[in-house]
């Protein structure tokens, strides 16, 4: 992997081996960003993506395998990062099922990956951004964090917590010229929807005014726009859902 040059902005994208993370990585590579990408399980896919982006866009792309819900692994990841302009907290997992049948370990795992991870990454990213008196933190959330979903109570709670985390941290960091925003996604065409049947996805689609499911690339482009938005925009939960909610 190439060493990053000092003139290009650097973005860290978690959960980047596929779906929204991979699409966002491609959009940022095309825009000339140097990248640090993480995933937990699909490391071969992530390495292949990194090689492809380096070749196609002539940027440095460093892949790391890390469980973002594990504090020590996040701490180790940041030992390899000495500068950061944009942090994109995308790593996330879902759980579909009745709350009364959910095990405590499942609940804790959802919270550690979807919410605790954002504390861990921000804890180490903020000092790097303070050194330069600028930075962007973008959290990938969900419309379920706004309105809640039956059978996805833990996921909804984790994303609702992430929305509050975003608003509070934005206020804390605004004097330091670090903007914090979240993007609340509706139904996006990713592997996270594999738990739904074709009939269930069709029923979902019929509820969406845009009459289609969103593409990961659309979220990626919105993430880039948010990273390049005026610095006065902070503490916002930006929804992309085809008019659904």
Q: Point out the residues that are catalytic.
A: 155
Using CA atoms, how far residue 57 sits from 15, 29, 35, 125, 175, in Å, is 20, 6, 11, 25, 35
The 10 Å Cβ neighbour count of residue 230 is 7
The whole-angstrom separation of Cα 47 and Cα 1 is 10
CB 58 within 8 A of CB 34: no
Q: Give the count of alpha carbons within 13 A of 17, CB side only.
A: 18
The 10 Å Cβ neighbour count of residue 119 is 13
């Amino acid at each position: 992997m190439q060493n990053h040059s000092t003139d290009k902005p650097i973005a860290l994208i978690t959960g980047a081996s596929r779906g929204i993370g991979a699409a966002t990585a491609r959009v940022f590579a095309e825009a000339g960003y140097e990248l640090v990408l993480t995933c937990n399980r699909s490391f071969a896919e992530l390495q292949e993506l990194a090689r492809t982006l380096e070749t196609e866009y002539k940027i440095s792309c460093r892949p790391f395998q890390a469980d973002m819900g594990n504090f020590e692994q996040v701490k180790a990841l940041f030992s390899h990062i000495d500068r950061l302009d944009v942090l994109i907290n995308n790593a996330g997992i879902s759980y579909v099922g009745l709350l009364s049948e959910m095990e405590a370990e499942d609940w804790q795992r959802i919270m550690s990956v979807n919410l605790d991870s954002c504390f861990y990454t921000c804890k180490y990213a903020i000092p790097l951004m303070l050194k330069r008196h600028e930075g962007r933190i973008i959290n990938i959330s969900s419309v379920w964090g706004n309105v809640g979903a039956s059978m996805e109570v833990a996921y909804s709670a984790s994303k609702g917590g992430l929305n509050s985390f975003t608003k509070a941290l934005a206020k804390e960091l605004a004097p330091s010229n670090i903007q914090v925003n979240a993007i609340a996604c509706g139904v996006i065409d990713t592997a996270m929807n594999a738990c739904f049947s074709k009939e269930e996805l069709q029923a979902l689609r019929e509820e969406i005014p845009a009459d289609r499911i969103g593409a990961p690339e659309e979220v990626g482009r919105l993430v880039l726009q948010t990273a390049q938005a005026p610095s006065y925009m902070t503490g916002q939960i930006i929804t992309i859902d085809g008019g659904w909610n």
